[in-house]
Amino acid sequence: MKLPGMVDVHVHLRVPGGEHKEDFRTGSAAALAGGITTVLAMPNTFPPIVTIDQLSVAQETANRQSLCDVFMYAGASAEHLNELPRLGEQAPALKLYMDQTYGPLKTNGLENLLRVFESWPKNKVICIHAEQESIAAALGLLNAAPRPIHFCHVSRKAEIELIAAAKRQGLPVTCEVTPHHLFLTEQDATRLGRLGDMRPTLAEQRDVDALWEHINTTIDCIATDHAPHTLQEKQGENPPPGVPGLESSLPLMLTAASQGRLSYERLVEMMHFTPRRIFSLPAQPETWVEIDPDSRYEFPDHPLYTKCGWTPFAGLAMQGRIRQVVLRGKTVVKDGVVLSDVNQD
């Protein structure tokens, strides 16, 4: 079965400042191994990407070192609100943190939030880390400053229902859900211990059920929130939240499709067409993923290409294997091996 190149609008590639966890080369290799040919990389780096100079440097580094197409987000910071219009000329989208998570970015205060909503170009989305009540707050801001917004990693029943209601009212709202919130619950979090901690945390079965009930309607995109941290960090003193996902995302969604939980067409809509449309991403000519929908296997406990080297999906029964990935006419993955090379610096 031939699918288009998958798009992941939410990954953390850790450049600059976290290159021991991941870098553009290893992260983009993991993407390709997972059938993903375009990724959007988050700005919660060290330092965070909140100025035009930082964005330019990060994007140029990404262009030089990546094996797939990588687009850098700009980050919203109260100290650099003036830069937003210029950042908005370069970045495909803005990331706004309304809740505390890994890294230094969080925007507090109603005035700052309003400024962000007003300053970012109206033809580009603001992607928001908003959990629980913060989703209602973001929707409330749309009254004063109508503009397209996109909710990251929606994970709770009440959240997806609030977003469904907002869509029914015609508000310019889209959202993404991660594979880990679709396939794991808080019971898995207990089983996985520190490896099972991420933001938002894993939820109850009723939340997971609610997400699946909205899979054909409210959910626009599947995005991994690929958040690599080393095993040592995860098992150490102050374990950072986050799990890797680039190499498991398409296999998991193919598994769900093989079980009839969604159609292959719907999978392609959420992992290719809709993300491309929401973020106005360029088409990739002669790019496709050849999959074998019947092949069964166990997901390995060490994914090959992410630098972090572990996965919360170790040992999971999968159906649907990536046979080949072709990017712009060139075979870049063959039977699980990334063949591609770039001029590294």
Q: Which stretches of the chain bind ligand DOR, using CB under 6 A?
A: 12, 44, 101-103, 129, 198-199, 225, 227, 240-242
Is the preceding peptide bond at 43 cis, omega within 30 degrees of 0?
no
Q: Quote the CA–CA distance of 186 and 196 in Å, as a whole number.
A: 9
Residue number, 99 or 290, with CB nearest to ligand DOR: 99
Interface of this chain with Zn ion, residues 144 to 163, rule: CB under 5 A? 152
Strands (DSSP E) along 107-172, which ranges?
Answer: 126-129, 149-151
Q: Which of 82, 301, 304, 328 binds Zn ion (CB under 5 A)?
A: 301
* Side chain identity, residue 271: M
Which residue has the CB atom at the shortest distance from Zn ion? 129
Task: Output the CA–CA distances (angstroms, integers) from residue 139 to 91, 132, 149, in the order listed.
Answer: 23, 12, 9
103 binds, among ligand DOR, Zn ion, none (CB under 5 to 8 A by kind): ligand DOR
Count of residues in contact with Zn ion, rule CB under 5 A: 4
Q: Can you tell me the distance from the alpha carbon of 91 to that of 74, in angstroms, rounded to the nearest whole number? A: 6
Comparing CB distances to ligand DOR, the nearer of 178 and 287 is 178
Among ligand DOR, Zn ion, none, what does residue 301 contact (CB within 5–8 Å per kind)? Zn ion
Write down the least CB distance from residue 249 to ligand DOR, Å. 15
Looking at the Cβ atoms of 127 and 332, the one nearer to ligand DOR is 127
CB nearer ligand DOR, residue 175 or residue 267 = 175
Instruction: Dig out the tokens for 229 from the structure.
Output: 């941290």
DSSP helix/strand/coil, 42: coil
Instruction: Name the minimum Å distance from CB 301 to Zn ion.
Output: 4
Residue 88 vs 103, nearer CB to ligand DOR? 103
Q: Does 298 bind Zn ion (CB under 5 A)?
A: no
- CB of residue 153 vs ligand DOR: minimum separation in angstroms? 7
First to last CA, the chain: 36
At residue 34, what are phi and psi to the nearest 5 degrees? Answer: -95, 15
312 touches which of ligand DOR, Zn ion, none (CB within 5 to 8 A by kind)?
Answer: none
Q: DSSP class of residue 299?
A: P
> Please, what sign has the CA dihedral across residues 7, 12, 16, 19?
negative
Neighbours of 64 (CB within 10 A): 13
The one of Zn ion, ligand DOR, none whose footprint includes residue 115, by CB under 5 to 8 A per kind, is none
Site residues for Zn ion, window 110-149 (CB under 5 A)? Answer: 129
Q: Which of residues 181-240 bind Zn ion (CB under 5 A)?
A: 225
Are 324 and 333 a contacting pair, CB within 8 Å?
A: yes
Q: Among residues 29 and 198, whose Cβ is nearest to ligand DOR?
A: 198
Asked if 109 and 73 touch (Cβ cutoff 8 Å), the reply is: no
Residue burial 268-300, b: 16+ Cβ < 10 Å; e: rest: bbbbbebbbebbebeebeebbbbbeeeeeeebb
Q: Which does 198 bind (CB under 5 to 8 A by kind): Zn ion, ligand DOR, none?
A: ligand DOR
**Nearest residue to ligand DOR on Cβ basis:** 242
Residues that bind Zn ion (CB under 5 A): 129, 152, 225, 301
